């Protein structure tokens, strides 16, 4: 057996942080942000909100879309770099909150590639007979790790969650293949140094502002383009199709310029490249499942269409998946 997506859902917190708002916080302006990133606004969770609450909202919408009761779910996988706690996993909190009483759960950390990694794990577990239905969520509250005094990074990130319900299906349908990669030698391109065992929480850690995202923007851009193009071609070649066969291409929503360069190198027309980052910014692991839910709501794909997703994030990690919807 293989697995296929039978339900999609997303959630963005009501509060918005616009480019105009950021003008009041750091030395930047709306035109500069829009021109360089394509982002106009991003959604921000209320202080003290746990990530699992965002997961719940997206998960319930995906379950409703699939017509599946939470008690039918066997597997819960949450891709996130901003969990409720170091442990238990956010997946366990989500399982309890939605009443997925027979499911087992786990978190997966692969930064912005977290959803595709999580999708691959859930798909493999279904293929291995470890469950028939899975709930896969990408969810982040990045506002908790963003330095709002650093104009190079604070303009990029937002909060949100996206979810899919997977169900077993015959081979050749649904998720056709997933491709996962990492290069730990390049970890310094995107990272958050504080809060782990290397730099535990302490007054010194907070004073040195180690609990915030750090990024080498120009180098990250180059690697993101290169690796997302490679992973996209890998998925196409693996399945014996071309980019012309793909109905919709959904790249990680990090930066409009990255998306445009990747699309151009793959040779896919702009009208078949999905972009929604102007509304949400970079939501890391939530980016692709939010885009999938938005694309379905807009009628951008139909049953039987091929959809290619690809992501890139800290680690470095990158990943792709080709799916027949």
8 Å CB contact between 294 and 280: no
Q: Please say if 169 is a catalytic residue.
A: no
Q: Please say if 282 is a catalytic residue.
A: yes
Q: Where do runs of H (alpha helix) occur along the chain?
A: 19-23, 30-37, 51-66, 90-98, 114-127, 151-154, 203-207, 217-238, 256-266, 277-280, 287-297
CA distances from 146 to 170, 177, 181, 210, 215 (A): 43, 33, 26, 11, 11
Residue among 112, 154, 178, 192 flagged as catalytic: 112
Sheet of strand 104-108, all strands in order from the earlier edge strand to the far edge: 2-11, 159-169, 133-141, 75-79, 104-108
CA distance 117 to 115: 5
Helix (H/G/I), strand (E/B), else coil: 316: coil
Helix (H/G/I), strand (E/B), else coil: 158: coil
Residue among 179, 192, 252, 255 flagged as catalytic: 252
Q: Please say if 112 is a catalytic residue.
A: yes
Any idea which residues carry the catalytic annotation? 112, 252, 282
């Amino acid at each position: 057996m293989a697995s296929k997506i039978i339900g999609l859902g997303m959630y963005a917190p009501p509060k918005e942080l616009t480019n105009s708002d950021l003008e009041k916080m750091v030395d930047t302006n709306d035109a500069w942000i829009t021109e360089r990133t394509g982002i106009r606004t991003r959604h921000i969770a209320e202080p003290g909100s746990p990530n699992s609450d965002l997961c719940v909202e997206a998960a319930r919408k995906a379950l409703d879309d699939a017509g599946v009761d939470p008690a039918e779910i066997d597997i819960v996988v949450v891709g996130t770099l901003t969990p409720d706690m170091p442990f238990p996993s956010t997946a366990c909190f989500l399982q309890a909150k939605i009443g997925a009483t027979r499911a087992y759960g786990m978190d997966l950390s692969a930064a912005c590639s977290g959803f595709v990694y999580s999708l691959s794990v859930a798909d493999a577990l279904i293929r291995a007979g470890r469950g028939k239905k899975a709930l896969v969520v990408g969810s982040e509250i990045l506002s908790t790790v963003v330095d709002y005094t650093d104009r190079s990074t604070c303009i990029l990130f937002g909060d949100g969650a996206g979810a899919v319900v997977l169900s077993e299906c015959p081979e050749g349908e649904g998720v056709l293949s997933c491709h996962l990669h990492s290069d730990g030698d390049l970890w310094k391109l995107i990272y958050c140094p504080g809060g782990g065992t290397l730099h535990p929480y302490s007054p010194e850690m907070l004073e040195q502002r180690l609990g915030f995202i750090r990024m080498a923007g120009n180098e990250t851009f180059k690697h993101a383009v290169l690796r997302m193009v490679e992973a996209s071609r890998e998925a196409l070649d693996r399945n014996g199709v071309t980019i012309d066969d793909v109905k919709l291409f959904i790249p990680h929503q990090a930066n409009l310029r990255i998306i445009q360069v990747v699309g151009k190198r793959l040779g896919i027309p702009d009208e078949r490249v999905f972009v929604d980052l102007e509304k949400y910014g970079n939501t890391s692991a939530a980016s692709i499942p939010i885009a999938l839910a938005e694309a379905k709501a807009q009628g951008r794909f139909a049953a039987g269409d091929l959809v290619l997703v690809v992501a890139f994030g800290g680690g470095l990690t990158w990943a792709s998946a080709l799916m027949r919807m």
